[in-house]
A and B are shown apart, each in its own frame.
Chain A
């Protein structure tokens, strides 16, 4: 019961903040609203008992990515000009609504294979389990290495592009 109340509260906050991001003209305020939406999504991970994911969400998204985006907004000085919609506003809205309808239809009509009583099942803390999946012999070790190389390449590329020639 408490979990349901928490889910509905967090879902309303996340969707409302995401709508604010799209609607507001001021880019800086929409970035702050995005931070609120990201925090609410971290709470939704907690209602899914994904505690490590919620921590990483707060660290990576709220801590790093949003700061990067806000610095980008401050350096480009387009805050006063705002973020007006382009001429595809109404087709984009219609496309988003149609996409939402199709996704809802598919999600709700597919007979998903779920474990019975999965909601009540108490899970152990996920950090140990995730470490086991990521670093064990038959886990995702190669993918972790590739993700590290990807991050290194992205950082070197970002520095090479953004520095003064």
Chain B
């Protein structure tokens, strides 16, 4: 029988995979891909809490919708920043983008 714990552990697995990708990847677009995985993991947890905790109130699903709005805005701005960096420096290697590093 699938319970709340199964969904939460699935969410933790996906979030950890995304966390590893964000920390370990070099390509800036690959980092954005992994951020999307992390946001999806959070949405699974919110939907599962909504289903098992307050099935009629749907509050968790409302929060998941707002997370999707923020994810869309984040992807648009992120890709725009990456395009600008690529145009001015010719590379999107995140280890070489250190203009603001002390």
Type the 1/0 row for A87-115, where 1 means its CB is closer than 8 Å to any CB of B: 11101110111011001100110001111
Q: Could you tell me the distance between the alpha carbons of A60 and B23 in the complex, rounded to whole angstroms?
A: 26
Contact: A15 with B62, CB < 8 Å?
no
Partner of A21, one of B37, B64, B68, B69: B37
Restricting to B39-81, which residues have a CB under 8 Å from any CB of A? 40, 43-44, 47-48, 50-59, 61-62, 64-66, 68-77, 79-81
> Given A30-B30, A34-B33, A65-B75, are A41 and B58 also a contact pair (CB < 8 Å)?
no
Residue in B closest to A97 when the chains form the complex, CB atoms: B16
Interface core residue of A53, A134, A150, A159 (most chain B CB under 10 Å):
A53
Q: How large is the interface on B (under 10, 10 to 19, 20 to 34, 35 or more residues)?
A: 35 or more
Size of interface on A: residues with Cβ below 8 Å to B:
87
Residues in chain A near residue B81, CB distance under 8 A: 161
Partner of A48, one of B7, B19, B24: B7
Contact: B34 with A21, CB < 8 Å?
yes
